[in-house]
Each structure stands twice: as C-alpha cells, then as structure tokens.
Structure 1
Amino acid sequence: MRPAALRALCLSFNAAVEEFPFNPETSVFKVNGKVFALTDLGAEPLTVSLKCEPEEAVRLREAHPDVVVPGWHLNKRHWNTVTVGELPAARVREMVEDSYDLVVAKLPRAERLRLDRP
C-alpha cells in the first residue's frame, strides 16, 4: 500500500479528518476529535499507528514480530505501529477499519448514530 492509498483509506470513513497537531509531517486521522491513526506519509518505510484491542494487539505482534510492534509513543497496550508495505493491503485495511471502529464504539450513542455505526 502506498502513502496516497493509506491516506485515502483513512479519509474514507464517515466524519474522518486529517490534522497535523504535532508537526507538518505527522498526519493524525480523527473521527469526532478522537484519534484512530497516526502516520508520517513521507517516511520510509511507511508505518501507521493504529488502535487495537489489547488481546488482538499482542496476537498481531506475535504473528508479525518484524512488522507489528507496540505503538510508538502511545499506550503500548492499545496501540500498534504497523509497517504498511510488509503486510497485504487487505490486512492493513482491516486493521485501519478496526481502529476506526474501536474509536467510534467509545463515542456517545448520538454521535455513533450520526455516523451510521450503532
């Protein structure tokens, strides 16, 4: 997956926005003000930090030890940093969608309903 495809994927979700609160290089993708993905789209290799269920985070790290590592400067229990080009694009898409869904699930019910995510 190339940087433009990763960016397009992150922005394809309802109410997703891209912000640059830390520096001009770090894209922070949010839904209703809550972060679901962080990446430097110009970095080599391309990585993205994604929210994950704690048990799934450990499972992914064990299954892909060179590709999925604890989140860089994030809560290591809930975040993984993924080297994008080392996994199939479909798997990366699933992980990004899971991250988005986890964040949306914590939003108030009224906000979830506006996003068509009960």
Structure 2
Amino acid sequence: MGSQKYIQKGEKEFVNGVTRAVMECDVSNNHYLLNASGVLTYIVSSRNPRVRLQVNSETKVLCVFSKGLIRDFHEKASGTDDLAKQWIKRAVRDVIAHGKDVPRIVYPALTGSKTPTD
C-alpha cells in the first residue's frame, strides 16, 4: 500500500486557486493561506484589510501570493500546458512547505521543536 499524505481542504483550494491565477497571469487578487490553530483556510482578496480582520493571535498567515509572485511564477512556467501546470503546483507546494518550516526554525521555543543546530 502506498503512503499518502493528507492535505487539508484549505491547502488544496490554495494550491488550485494560485495555480489558476498563475496560469492565467491573473493579478487581480492576493491569495492567502491562513493557519488558525492547525486548520488551514484559503482566502482570496483584492484588499488587505479583509485579511487583517481574520488574523489574530490564534490565526497566522502561512503563505501569500501577491501580484509580483504570480507574475514571476507565470514567467518561469512559460506555458499553459499540463507540464507548466504541474510545475506550478509543485512550486506552490514548495512555498507552502517553506511557510510551514519557518516557525519551527525561527521560533523553536514556541513550537516545541529543536533548532537546526541542536
């Protein structure tokens, strides 16, 4: 039996939404992945204040894809075929993974993990 990794609905929606935006080079919105006590939520907003209202001590911004990053990924993917789409999805997942690692590296005492040098 193969190993499968569970992906939360919010993370899946974020990957699909950002992939669509990058493929179409749609820079009309910013894309946010929020972590609210372990529950990932995807928000699309053209205005930052909407997101600020939903971020509190229990909710952290995990990833943001804004206009510049969407354009950059669109140029790097250089195409609208299935290979470009798969590259974008993989790259977005890598950004999410990095976003998940940052708190463990920067704030090890708060997350209960050890620093990379331990």
TM class by smaller structure: 0.3 to 0.5
Whichever of the two has the greater Rg, that structure is: 2
TM-score, normalised via structure 2 length:
0.34
User: More helix by proportion, 1 or 2?
Assistant: 2
TM-score, normalised via structure 1 length:
0.34
User: More strand by proportion, 1 or 2?
Assistant: 1
